Chains A and B, each alone.
Chain A
Amino acid sequence: MEKLIEQLSICIESGKINRNSGYPPQLKGQDGADEIARQALESGIKPSGILEGCMAGMQRIGERFGRNEVFVPELLMAAKAMNTVMEHLKPYFQTGEVKRRGVFVVGTVAGDLHDIGKKLVAMVVEGNGWEVIDLGVDVSTEKFMETVGQKPGCAVGLSALLTTTMVNMEKTVKFIRDKYPQTKILVGGAPVTLNYANQIGADGYAPDPQGAVHLLDRLAS
């Protein structure tokens, strides 16, 4: 049993999605996260145990990202492998047998159409066990407010890639703060800095997807 969990966490860390996946080359032809998750459930391992194994893999790849040993492509592959496992665990999330770490509502702020950075954050955060609601690009303050209203206790991630739309970020933070003061808000994007995040009253700034995961873990605890 433990061996399966260990294998699973290695698959997650190395981004091995399924048997057919050619990446990483050293695991070519072997079972991937998809097959091992199925075997684990069939052999009676608790869904929560499977989730823990996956998280251990995600944590290791996250640490390697922090040490500049791997970069966005590898992080995304791990997240993709993780998401195949999540598909297997979906029924257990619905029954409440296993729980996600929380809900993360993410979007690029009004007037800003850049999707790449936000998408990367969404994928990696989801891969780290969060339920992610991706509102897309050019998201109005009202839309953010509406979603936060529907998902009490969620954390919010705002992305802005333009100096001009950073202003809208400030507005969205202020509105969420006023109505839902407990909501944790993190911000990111090329022109955004920690200073700016503090200035507009956000709870934190993340320079990269893994930074967002760390921040969410810290804010949620």
Chain B
Amino acid sequence: MAKSNVMTGRERIRAAMALKPVDRIPWLPFVGCHGGALIGKKAGDYLRSADRMAAGAAEAVRRYRPDGLPVAFDLQIEAEALGCSLVWSDENPPAVSSHPLASGRAFSDLRIPAKDEGRIPVVLEASRMMRKAHPDIALYGLITGPFTLAMHLYGTDLFMKMLEDEKSVHDLLAFTRDVGLRMADYYTDAGCDVIAVVDPLTSQIGPDAFQKFVRNPASALFSHIRSSGRQGSFFVCGHAQQNITEMCACKPDNISIDENIPLDYVRDICLENRISFGGNLQLTVVLLLGSPDDARRNAVECLETGGETGFILAPGCDLPYATPPSNIEAIAVMLQDPYQLEIAKALKTGPKTRDLLDMSDYGQTGKVIVDIITLDSEACAPCQYMVESVRQVAPEFEGIVEWREHKIKHADSVQFMTSLMVKNIPTICIDGRIAFVSQIPPRERLIAAIRRRIYEKLQYKIRTRRGEILILGKNDAECDRAMPVLAQALRELGVEMPVTAVTDPGQILSYGVAVTPAVVMVHYKVKAEGNVPAAAIIKEWIKEIQ
């Protein structure tokens, strides 16, 4: 890739959609009603006011540093203008509560909405305001896909109508296509760069029905969008894997999907068809309910799968209203700071196997070593509390427990962490074994875990320690005189241990013994078996016998 951050967001998205090189992967957080949360307004008040949507977008630009933003993520705008009743809620886009064609309204009565009907003027005004305020950001005008709009108008009976009365469904979809064509023009005139055709309900039909009913209207939309000098994106959500090839046949510039479809599957089909693609950060489990770490990790997975050609990083769909901004900010910061991205990638995949430290002998010293793997306890609250919990408990085991913090901002810490198979931050390891992941242990549990390890080591010590007794004497007779005492001691302890007589004067002197008889106790302790561990580990052992 070229040097980072030399393109504007608008250029970056335009290039990615054309499968051209980009200076970094473009970032498209779908801030819809979530913009309301950013400026402290309810969704219903937000999506009905151009000023508020513009203010929400400004806040999103400031906090999330996006390359592109949707003007409004609301699939009910056309439906409302066409006579569907809406029910508003505080934290969601409105929901359609009536389907006019199912409740008596004649199809022939439907007219393509003019630009001053319903909330269309509101979103167009919002587009113009955002265009003026953010000339460098790609603006997405979202139109309701022809199938989803038909479902709004007709209700679920549309599914059966597809089998029983194909013609009426074709007629309806020709109408919803025309609504889409007009909406695309409105958004284009208001300054949008990308027109996104959002058709989530196509996930409920198979490729045959898609081809029969959706391909023509969708193709007409994308062809029209292209002829207006704009780029077209096809959004789908849900289990729509079966239709990706069909979606490509509609010739959009881009296909955007959610986590229900594997990104590599979409990547392969799209690139084969020379179409760019985007997605598929997990909306609920990661962005809404997860932590910034989860968000970063998920983003890295997407980036690695997406690759460098034609990929746009985006959430699977409209960000939930209450998404913690810190999760989105975490991704934004990481994307735009190559160093942060590198760390996240290192954490995701870890060093190559050959770079891993052999930790099999780690934690074999007399002390119990507590390692805390953190991002940085000064910068990350959970890390701070985890370090604090260890700091408070350590004095209970004075002289036995030694603890260290490993900040994964440093490469060797990353290597250390990966070598210990640690995958989450923060984590506590006791003698090289993962003990507490992400959650700060209560004091008693931490104490109990350390105690358990001390007992284990004691047992191990007893098992592995082997000894020998040397009797140092001028001659065999002197040694023999000492033997019965040693034999008695061994017998009374129930221990078997060799006793060796040493009479060689040179050897006696090498023990620092000047006067005989003397007794030397020799302790052998197996520290490593079958290999020679790293110098860092051997250093710990040497310290122990110094």
Contacts and interface: CB of A to CB of B under 8 A. Distances in A.
B284 A163 contact: yes
Given A71-B206, A120-B156, A164-B320, A193 B164 contact: no
Interface string B194-209: 0000000100111001
B156 A119 contact: yes
Interface string B139-159: 000000000000100011001
Q: Which 6 pairs of residues, A with B, have the shortest CB-CB distance?
A: A71-B206, A163-B320, A113-B95, A72-B204, A73-B159, A164-B91
Given A68-B242, A113-B97, A77 B237 contact: no
Interface of A: 15, 21-24, 68, 70-74, 76-77, 80, 111-116, 119-120, 162-166, 190-191, 193, 195-196, 207-208
A195 B242 CA distance: 24
A202 to B, nearest CB: 15
B214 to A, nearest CB: 13
B89 interface: yes
Given A72-B204, A113-B95, A207 B156 contact: no
Given A164-B92, A164-B320, A76 B284 contact: no
Given A71-B209, A74-B163, A196-B285, A116 B156 contact: yes
Given A163-B288, A164-B320, A193-B285, A71 B205 contact: yes
A71 B238 CA distance: 14
Given A190-B237, A190-B238, A191-B283, A114 B206 contact: no
Nearest to A111: B89
B493 interface: no
Given A164-B321, A207-B239, A195 B285 contact: yes
B519 interface: no
B160 A162 contact: no
Nearest to A123: B156
A193 B285 CA distance: 8
Contact of A76 (B155, B159, B209, B320): B159
Given A114-B95, A163-B283, 13 more contacts: A71-B205, A73-B160, A73-B204, A76-B159, A77-B160, A80-B160, A119-B156, A162-B89, A163-B321, A165-B92, A191-B320, A195-B285, A196-B284
A132 to B, nearest CB: 15
Contacts of B160: 73, 76-77, 80
Nearest to A118: B156
Nearest to A120: B156
B163 A73 contact: yes
Contacts of A190: 237-238
Interface of B: 87, 89, 91-92, 95, 97, 151, 155-156, 159-160, 162-165, 201, 204-206, 209, 237-239, 242, 283-285, 288, 320-322
A73 B91 CA distance: 32
A112 B205 CA distance: 24
Nearest to B165: A22
A73 B162 contact: yes
A70 B163 contact: no
A112 B90 CA distance: 11
B159 A72 contact: yes
Contacts of B156: 76, 115-116, 119-120
Contacts of A68: 206, 242
A71 B204 CA distance: 7
A29 B107 CA distance: 29
Nearest to A162: B92
Contacts of A163: 283-284, 288, 320-322
A70 B206 contact: yes
A164 B88 CA distance: 13
